Structure 1
Amino acid sequence: MPQPVSLLSLATAVPPNRVSQRDAARAAQQGFAARYDDFERLAKVFESSGILTRNLARPVEWYLRPMGWEERNAAYTEVAMALFTEAAGRALEQAGLKASEIDTVVTVSSTGVATPSIDARVADAMGFRSDVERAPVFGLGCAGGVTGLSLASRLAQSRPGSAVLVVAVELCSLSFRLDKLTKENIVATALFADGAAACVLRSGEGGLARVEMSGQHTWPDTLDIMGWSVDATGLGVIFDRAIPPFAEANVAPAIAAILGRAGLTLADVDRFACHPGGAKVITALERALSMDQGTLDHERDVLAEHGNMSAPTALFVLDRVLRDPSRPRTLLTAMGPGFTASCVSLAVAA
């Protein structure tokens, strides 16, 4: 019988450039209003997003000047390395481990390109062993943190006694584009933020929670819902279909099927910990999963304080949910490009 896998620690980090949503709206108006006739109507999303503050890779002024892919990606590499080191260092400290005791590193990121990958670039400074196994994961977007945790748990289970570090780091703000006068770009500018989260897992009992199961569901013919476009200027957001109504109509059957493969039902879940993609997405998830409005309180709080950081955001929510041991089973879930739902069930001793 496979050994259980425990989540030993969970830590988060954000870049130092904190901006209020009001200041972000003013900056967007400065960048778009004179060139985009529909801006004033679309700018209402800054108020309805549910976001109060966010942290960005660079000061707001940096985003208001022309730049290309090279400059954006250089910023990605620099800031992602710093956030990786900070979040991973905190997770290791919480777990009572040194970097040299980590056997595998899973790095999740979809907001820039680095080859060698971010984990390789910080390996010496972190103190990873020369035989540490690295598994960079790209392209999962908002689902990346949940899927990364799932992959890390499977790797830990496959080698009893080994310690696996998973780090999700995203710099979504680097996709802010002054050259794209589109609704999707304005929405992204109102929602996206930057951050990182890191976890340490190991086979055996103990820690914050035990990983029970995990799974994914990818809907057919949904590649157009979410993703990146790529050109000489950088990454550009793709939102070709409205996500809240899709989530409300389709999430519950998909999650029920994932749980069913492990002999569980929706009723067996004590607390859903969901990626807060936006205020409307949170409301749609509450409706889809038959929850009272306001149930996803940690989700709303994380969104208000940090915005949508893509992959790490669900782990920010999980960090808060796990502080309440009164709900033994938590289902961590997020949706991302594919279009895919990813789930991990975690059990906490009552």
Structure 2
Amino acid sequence: MAHPVKLLSVSTAVPVHMITQREAAQVAHESFSARFDDFERLVKVFESSGILRRHLVQPLDWYLKPLGWSERNAAYLEGATALFTDAAAKALAAAGVTGDAVDTVVTISSTGLATPALDARAAETLGFRSDVERVPVFGLGCAGGVSGMSLGARLAQARPGSTVLVVAVELCSVAFRMDKLTKENIVATALFADGAAACVLRAGEGGLARVEMSGQHTWPGTLDIMGWDVDDIGLGVIFDRAIPPFAEANIAPAIAGILARGGLKLTDIDRFACHPGGAKVITALERALTLEQGALDHERAVLADFGNMSAPTALFVLDRVIRSGLPPRTLLTAMGPGFTASCVSLQVAA
């Protein structure tokens, strides 16, 4: 009989530099308004985003300098390693284990290049054993935190009793571009931020909740919805199709299909914990999933306080759901490049 995989802890971490959305709008106005004819219309996204403040890995002035790949990735390596260490240490402490108890570490990140990966850079500080198995994963974007938990649960299931640490780290701000005069780039500067989240999983007894099932759905012909464009300066965001209407039209049947593979229905879910991509995305999800307006309250609170941090953001939401009291069944969900929906169902531990 398979041992149930338990979620032992969830933790979060953000950089020390914080800006208000008003400050971000002012800097965007100074940087873009004289060079981009449609800026005054687009600047409204700073007000309608649902974001009040965000955390960045560098002081605001740093982003206004001429930056190339080397400067951006150097900032990523330093900042992401620090956030990885912070989030992981908190998750391990909350789970009551030390770094030398970790058997497998799954690292999720898509906003910079690290070889050796972030887990190796943080290994000595966290006290990982020399035989720890390292699983770095790139390219999942906003779905990364949920997909990372799914992968970590499968690895824990494969070796009952082993401890799996999952860490999602994204420094979206190192991709902020002052040179790209596009709607997509301005929207990105209004939404994205930096942060990390971690969780500890183990097949065995105890824990906060049981990982009941997980799954993904990838829509064909949707590579243009979200991703990175790579050039000599750095990464540039791709938003070639509006995400809120796509989510409203397509997310419910996709999630229903994922749940059906685990013998569940949408009506079996007591609480959806969703990646808050933006205020309009949250509203679209409530409509698509037939939830009351305002039901995704933790999502709105995380978005307001931290912005869209890509992969870690769904785990920030889960952390708040846990602190307020997990219902019998919670479905953690996120959408990301692919275009893909990822889900993990959590049942409260008996």
Give the TM interval when normalised to the shorter protein. over 0.9
- Which residue in the other structure is 1:192 paired with? 192
- What residue number does 2:153 align with? 153
In the alignment, residue 67 of structure 1 is paired with which amino acid?
Answer: L
What is the rounded CA distance, in whole Å, between the counterparts of 2:160 and 2:41 in structure 1?
A: 56
Q: What secondary structure is seen at the aligned counterpart in 2 of 1:18?
A: strand
Contact 1:325 1:348 in 2 (8 A): no
Within 5 Å, give how 1:248-327 maps onto structure 2: 248-325=248-325, 327=327
2:207·2:349 contact (CA, 8 Å) conserved in 1?
A: no
**Within-5 A mapping of 1:43-192:** 43-192=43-192
**What secondary structure, in the 3-state scheme, does the structure 2 residue paired with 1:237 have?**
strand
> CA offsets per residue over residues 121-166 of structure 1, 9 Å max, x none?
1111211000000000000000000000000000001001100000
SS in 1 for 2:323: coil
Q: Identity of paired residues, percent? A: 76
Cα distance in 1 for residues equivalent to 2:95 and 2:117: 24
Whole-angstrom CA distance in 1 between matches of 2:195 and 2:210? 25
Distance 1:11 1:343 in 2: 19
CA distance in 2, matches of 1:87, 1:322: 17
Q: Please identify, of 209-218 and 118-127, the stretch whose mean Cα deviation from structure 2 is larger.
A: 118-127
Asked if 2 retains the 8 angstrom alpha-carbon contact of 1:302 and 1:316, the reply is yes
Counterpart for residue 24 of structure 2: 24
Note the C-alpha offset of 1:326: 5.7
The number of residues matched between the two structures is 350
Structure 2 CA distance for aligned equivalents of residues 146 and 16 of structure 1: 25
CA contact (8 A) 1:146 1:332 kept: yes
Contact 1:215 1:343 in 2 (8 A): yes
Residue type of the alignment partner of 2:141: G
CA contact (8 A) 1:167 1:196 kept: yes
Aligned 1:330-341 pairs, distance under 5 A: 330-341=330-341
CA shift, 1:2, in A, is 1.1
Report deviation, 1:324. 3.4
CA–CA distance in structure 1, aligned partners of residues 209 and 15 of structure 2? 28
Q: Distance in 2 between matches of 1:175 and 1:240?
A: 17
CA distance in 2, matches of 1:162, 1:327: 27
Which piece of structure 1 moves more, 123-132 or 296-305?
Answer: 123-132
Deviation digits for residues 219-271 of structure 1, max 9, x if unmatched? 00000000000111100000000000000000000000000001000000000
Letter paired with 2:343: C
Cα RMSD (Å) of the superposition?
Answer: 0.8
User: C-alpha offsets along residues 315-346 of structure 1, whole Å, 9 cap, x if unaligned?
Assistant: 00000112233621000000000000000000
Unaligned runs of 5+ in 2: none
Q: Tell me, what secondary structure is at the counterpart of 1:202? A: strand
> Offset at 1:205?
2.4
Q: 1:337, 1:207 → 2: CA distance?
A: 31
Partner of 2:226: 226
What SS is found at the alignment partner of 2:317?
A: helix
> Contact between 1:185 and 1:237, CA under 8 Å: does it hold in 2?
yes
Q: Aligned with 2:324: secondary structure? A: coil
CA gap 1:35/1:70 in 2 versus in 1, 3 angstroms: same
Conserved? CA contact 1:88–1:198, under 8 Å: yes
What residue in structure 2 maps to residue 348 of structure 1? Answer: 348
Where in structure 1 do 4 or more consecutive aligned residues deviate above 4 Å? none
User: CA-to-partner distance for each residue in 1:169-188, whole Å, 9 max, x for gaps?
Assistant: 00001111011000000000
SS in 2 for 1:8: strand
Letter in 2 for 1:45: V
- 2:42 is the alignment partner of 1:33: no
SS in 1 for 2:166: strand
- CA–CA distance in 2 between the matches of 1:274 and 1:36? 34
Equivalent position SS for 2:225: coil
Distance (whole Å) between structure 2 residues aligned to residue 235 and residue 172 of structure 1: 10
Shift of 1:207: 1.1
Structure 1 residues 231-242: aligned runs within 5 Å = 231-242=231-242
Q: Distance in 2 between matches of 1:159 and 1:205?
A: 14
Is the partner of 1:323 in helix, strand or coil?
Answer: helix
Query: What is the TM-score of this pair, normalised by structure 2?
Result: 0.99
SS of 2:338's equivalent in the other structure is coil
Deviation, structure 1 residue 349 = 4.1
TM-score by length of 1: 0.99
